[in-house]
Structure 1
Amino acid sequence: MSSQSKTTYDIPVVDLAPFFNGAPGAAEKTAERLRWIQEEVGFYYITNHGVPSALIKAAHDQVKAFHSQPLKDKLAIKVDERSTGYVPFKSTVYVTSEVAENTRKDLNENIRIVRERPADHPGIRADRRFTGPNKWPASEKLADFKPVMLEYFQAMEDLGYAMLPLYALALGLPSDYLNDLFTDPCWITRNVHYPPSTAEENQFGIAPHTDHGFITLLPINEVPALEVQAMDRSWIPARYIENAIIVNSGDFMAKWTNGRFRATPHRVLPPSKDRYISALFYNPNWDVSSAPLPGCSRPDHPRPHQTTIMLDHLCAYVDSNYAQSAGGMQDDQSFS
C-alpha cells in the first residue's frame, strides 16, 4: 500500500466566531465561503465552534478506555440487529467506494452509538434500526463512559443544528429551511480505535470511501492518518489544528443537492501509534426524502439517483460495507 501524497492544496479553515457572535453579514459571508468549499473541496476545518476542548479530550479518553478492555468485555455488547454496539476489528470492506476497488478488511474497531432515546420512543418500539437502545459497557471501570459520551454527543448535535442556517443559505434557501428536518436527527457515531498495524497491499485503517450522510463532524486528532482526495485525485494529509473540528459532506448531501455539494473521498492510513477518534455523522430525521432540495433540480442537471429516505439510505450503506458478523450483509469469507 502506498501512502505517498501530494500537497496541491490545503484543506480550508472556516472561523465560526463571527457567525455565532451575530456579526452583521457574517451568516451570508460564511455561507458564501461554505458554498465554494462544498462545491470545490467537500472538506473543511471549523474553529471557534463552541465545543469545549476539555469535553473533546474527555470523550477521546473514554473511547481509549473502552477499547483498552479485554476483547471478551467488548464482545459482550457486540453490535446487534438494531445496529448499535461494538464492531470488531476487520469488520468492514467499503465496496460502495467509487474511487477504489477495496478488497481488504479495514484495520479498525469501533463502538457504534446512536442518539439516546427513551424506551417508549416510537422508533424503539418499532425496532427501527439505528434508533436504539444503545448498548453501554457494564464495567465499573467505565462508569464515566456513558455520561461523558452523552454530553459530548449532545454538544456535537447542537453544533450540527447550529450550522444548518449556513447550509440553507449556501443553497439559496431561507436560513431556517432545514431546521424542521432535524428535529429527531438520525445521527450515528463511530468511536474508533486504529491500532498501529502492518497493512497488506490495498489495506487501510479505512479504505478510500465517501461517508453516507449529511455531514460528518470529527475533532481532528494529533496522530496523523486521515487523507482527503483532491479534485486531481491526489491525497492531501489532514494536518492537525489545535481544537479544530473537520467537517465533510456525505452521499446523502450529494443526493439532496443533486450533486451540487460534493461527497469527497477520503481514507485513513494505519497510524504509527494508537489513534482514537469519535466521529458524529449528523443526519436528518429518519424519514426525510433524498429528493433534491429546491433549486437543486435543474433541466441541465437531471436527478442522478432514485429517491430514498434517510434510514433506508443508511441501512443500505452499512449492509453493503459491513460483514454479517458486524450487523451488515457482507459474506465474512469474501474478503481477506
Structure 2
Amino acid sequence: MSGGRAEIPVLDLADWRGGAAPALAAALRHALEKVGFHFVTGHGIDWSIVEATFAECRRFHALPEAAKASLPVTRQITGYVGVGSGTTRTTALYDGGQANRVAAFLCKREEEGLNHWPEGLPGFRERVLDYMAAVDALAQRLLPLYEQALGLPAGWLAGRFAPADMHMRLAWYPAEPAGDARAADGEGFGVAPHTDNSFMTFLPQNDLPGLWIRPAGRDWTEAPHLPGSFLVNSGDALQRWSGGRVLSTEHFVRNRSGRERVSIPLFYGPDADTVLDGMPGHGSAVPVTYGAYTQWFSDRTYWGDDSPMP
C-alpha cells in the first residue's frame, strides 16, 4: 500500500560550530532512517564555486564528441561515457535495462593519479578540483554530526575518511520533450531507478528539476528546489555499514524540461581499504572493502559484469 510522499528534511548548519548538537543530530538521524535524503543549508561553500563548476560541465560537454571520446572511461571510474554507455544494473530495480540517457565526465581525487583531463579547456581541471576540495571540506565537517546521529564514538569515522574516496560525475542530459516525469516506467530515463554506492552523495541544486526519490514504503516524490543548498543522500555503503539501519533510497533522473540539463554529483566514501563490516552497535555485515564494492558497482554499470554482489 502506498505510504504517501516523503518530505525531505532541511539541516541548517549556519549556527553549528562543531561539538555536540543534539537537535541537529536528531534531525539527521530521522533523515537517515526514514527518508535517505536531506538538504544542507548554511554549509559555508561560496556558491560561485558551484556555479563555476556547472559552467565547466557545460564547457566540457560542448566539446566535439571525438574530443570527449578520446578520454574513454577506465575501470578506475575516470574518463568519459557517452549517452547510452551506462546501464543501471546494480539493484533489484534492474529489469533488463535500457541504457541511460546521460553523458558524463568522471574524475577522482587527483592524488590518486588516475584522472585524464581534456585538452583545450584552460581552467577546467583547476575549477573542478577546487569544487571537489570544497565539498571534501564540507563532508569532513559533517562526519562528527554523522557520528552523533548514529551513536558512534567521537572520531570513529574521521580516521576512516583520511583520505576519503571521492568520485565525481559532470553529467549532461540531452533535451527531451517536455512532459510529466512522475511515472518511473517507460522510456527516456536520464538515469533509471537505482541506489548509489556511496556513504553519502552531494548534489548541489541547479536550475532544472528532474530528480525523483522513493523512500521505502513511499510514493515517488520529485525533489523540491532549494536554491543554494546541497541535497545529500545516503548510499549502499552506509546502509551496509549500519547493518541496514540507514536507508539507501531509490531515485531516478528524467529530464522533461525541454532543455539540456547538467548535474555535478559527488559520491563520497571512506578510504578504499576500509572494511564495511558493521559499525559499533549496528549489528554485523558481510565484510567487504569500500573499494571492492565500488569496483563491483561500476563494473556492472559500465562493463556489463554480471558477477554477484560481494
Given that 1:195 and 1:271 are in contact with CA atoms closer than 8 Å, whether structure 2 keeps it comes out as: no
Unaligned runs of 5+ in 2: none
Q: How does 1:265-304 map to 2 (within 5 A)?
A: 265-272=250-257, 273-297=259-283, 303=284
- Residue type of the alignment partner of 1:201: G
Given that 1:9 and 1:236 are in contact with CA atoms closer than 8 Å, whether structure 2 keeps it comes out as: yes
Counterpart pick for 1:190 among 154, 163, 169: 169
TM-fit CA distance, 1:114: 0.2
TM superposition score normalised by structure 1: 0.84
Q: How many residues align?
A: 298
Counterpart pick for 1:244 among 214, 222, 229: 229
Q: Which secondary structure does the structure 1 equivalent of 2:192 belong to?
A: strand
Q: Distance in 2 between matches of 1:315 and 1:81?
A: 8
TM-fit CA distance, 1:11: 1.2
Q: Distance in 1 between matches of 2:92 and 2:305?
A: 19
Counterpart pick for 2:40 among 39, 42, 46: 46
TM superposition score normalised by structure 2: 0.91
Q: Which secondary structure does the structure 2 equivalent of 1:187 belong to?
A: strand
| Cα-to-partner distance string for 1:22-41 (whole Å, 9 max, x where unaligned) | 5x85x222111111110000
The residue aligned with 1:76 is 70
Moved more, 158-167 or 195-204: 195-204
Counterpart pick for 2:139 among 147, 154, 160: 160
1:135 has 2:112 as partner: no
Q: How does 1:109-258 map to 2 (within 5 A)?
A: 109-117=103-111, 131-139=112-120, 142-197=121-176, 201-258=186-243
User: Which stretches of structure 1, 4 residues or longer, exceed 6 Å deviation after superposition?
Assistant: none
Q: Identity rate of aligned residues, in percent?
A: 33
Q: Distance in 2 between matches of 1:56 and 1:193?
A: 16
The residue aligned with 2:54 is 60
Q: Which secondary structure does the structure 1 equivalent of 2:165 belong to?
A: coil
TM-fit CA distance, 1:6: 9.9
| Cα-to-partner distance string for 1:77-120 (whole Å, 9 max, x where unaligned) | 12124331111111121122224525210000000000011xxx
Unaligned runs of 5+ in 1: 118-130, 298-302, 331-336
Q: Distance in 2 between matches of 1:182 and 1:79?
A: 25
Q: Distance in 2 between matches of 1:7 and 1:146?
A: 43
| Cα-to-partner distance string for 1:120-170 (whole Å, 9 max, x where unaligned) | xxxxxxxxxxx432111111xx10101111100000011111100011111
| Cα-to-partner distance string for 1:277-302 (whole Å, 9 max, x where unaligned) | 111111100100010100101xxxxx
Given that 2:86 and 2:301 are in contact with CA atoms closer than 8 Å, whether structure 1 keeps it comes out as: yes
TM-fit CA distance, 1:202: 4.1
Q: Distance in 1 between matches of 2:106 and 2:149?
A: 31
Counterpart pick for 2:287 among 278, 285, 307: 307
Moved more, 268-277 or 94-103: 94-103
Aligned CA-pair RMSD: 2.0
| Cα-to-partner distance string for 1:240-274 (whole Å, 9 max, x where unaligned) | 11101000000000010000011000000123211
